[in-house]
Amino acid sequence: MSHFLFENNVLKKLKKFKEKKILVCMSGGLDSTVLADLLLKNNFKISVAHVNYSLRGNESLKNEKFVRNFCKSNKLKLHLKKLQKGELNKSIQIEARKIRYDWFKKILIEYNYDLITTAHHMDDNIENILIGMFRNPSKKNLTLIPELNKNILRPILNEKKDDIISYARANKIEFSFDSSNSEDYYLRNRIRNILIPEIEKIDKNFTEKVSDIVESISSVKNDFVIDNLFIDESDHKKVNKQDLQNEKSLKYFIENLKNFNFYNKKEILNFLLAKTGKKIVSNTHTILSNREFFLIKKNEILDSNEYELEMGINQNPFIIKLESSDEAKKPNSREVCLYDDIKLPLTIRRPKIGDTFYPYGMKGKKKLSKFFKDKKMSIFAKQNQWVLLKGDDILWIIGQRADNRFIKTKGKCLKISI
């Protein structure tokens, strides 16, 4: 009966991703094969990614062959990465993890997948707590694996290993055996294979009790996250995408978006998986997906006028002062010093497509669009940016970077400050 409950729990988590393109990370072992089978059986749009680290000779090849055959028999696209023997050197577990996640993310972008799934489960988090206690028993080291982290979902994270085994038996699922899980070289394996079985001889309910601790830590974190979910910035609010990885904070987020006139739950849920640069608009606000954050900003009519600047204090589009100075200095975000023979008036306007300049402190010419991208500026920040010019030459990306050609750092100058 537990396997029905297991399947039902997992499908509830996956329901909103039914129409998404999912990349299943599959080792060929029990957990990842069960997850792939469940997704396949319930008609999700999946492809598979497998990494062969070439660490276990023929066994590594057998695991790869198993995954190949699984994909072939189920007509699934397979992405395969094969490392050369000896390519992993120092900390194998840490290095292998970095290699596979970097590769998974590369595939996600290259092939336009919406989501990556891994088969971490409750026992992995229990082991994480015990590992943290051995290495350094502080709150910082009691790290839990998140259920949702950006585009990576772990749909069986809250399920017990026994229930995964029960599902596999009930559905007669074949899988590939990884002998390294039985070796006690790594701390995680010693905890899994030696420590936990010994503790369970004393207290057979040990796993359930630690599971309660995991849920308690998650609950405390969720309450803190909810209280601090919407972060106030100068002209917008932002929400960390990682803070939406649990159901409680997600519900709170969706409910509070009504304050910004976003009512379409389906549109919001689809937007949560959007890539950087995507946005949705209500009649009063815009939400922008911007790397690690969602940015929420009130809709406004942007000032797209051009303004001429003369010596003294200029009021438009904001207060900007031009004055002669005998002590030029290096530019900063609030002021720049230019050659004093530059003729006035100067012009201030919004950036235009094709604008280029010669960034101070760098060699050569650069497009503003590339400069903004390198600075990881959001669409909102780019829309609010102003540039200072003389004729067609950009003098200063105001508040960001001056142009090399016109900067003076010693002697008399034309000082411009905001």
Which residues does 22 contact at the CB level (< 8 Å), separation at least 6? 39, 44, 45, 46, 47, 113, 114, 115, 116, 117
Q: What is the pLDDT of residue 65?
A: 93
Domains 2-203 and 228-298 alike in fold: no
Q: pLDDT, tens digit, for every residue of 343-361?
A: 999 999 999 999 999 999 8
Domain residue extents for the chain: 2-203, 228-298, 307-417
Burial 143-175 (b: 16+ CB within 10 A, else e): eebbbbebbbbbbbbbbbbebbbbbbeeeebeb
Q: What is the pLDDT of residue 210?
A: 77
CATH node for 2-203 = 3.40.50.620
Through-space distance between the first and last CA atoms of the chain, rounded to whole angstroms: 69
Q: What is the pLDDT of residue 24?
A: 95
Whether the predicted model's global pTM rises above the 0.85 cut: no
CA triple 272-273-278, angle to 5 deg? 80
Closest C-alpha among 94, 63, 97 to residue 80 = 63
Torsion from C-alpha of 86, 89, 93, 97, nearest 10 degrees: -80
Choosing among 1.10.3470, 3.30.479, 1.10.540, 3.30.465, the CATH entry for 228-298 is 3.30.465
Closest C-alpha among 154, 144, 85, 149 to residue 117 = 154
List the chain pLDDT tens, one digit each, 418 residues: 467 788 888 998 888 888 899 999 999 999 999 999 999 999 999 999 999 887 777 888 999 999 999 999 999 999 999 887 766 665 566 777 888 888 998 999 899 999 999 999 888 888 877 877 776 655 544 567 778 777 888 999 888 888 999 999 999 999 887 766 666 666 777 888 888 888 888 988 887 787 777 776 666 565 655 667 888 887 889 998 888 877 778 888 888 898 899 988 888 888 887 778 888 989 899 999 988 899 999 988 888 899 999 999 999 898 999 999 998 999 998 999 999 889 999 999 999 999 999 999 888 899 999 999 888 888 888 888 999 999 999 999 999 999 999 999 999 999 999 8
Q: What is the pLDDT of residue 1?
A: 45
Gap between the Cα atoms of 409 and 412, Å rounded: 9
Q: Would you state the structure tokens that stand for residue 382, as one six-digit string?
A: 């780019």
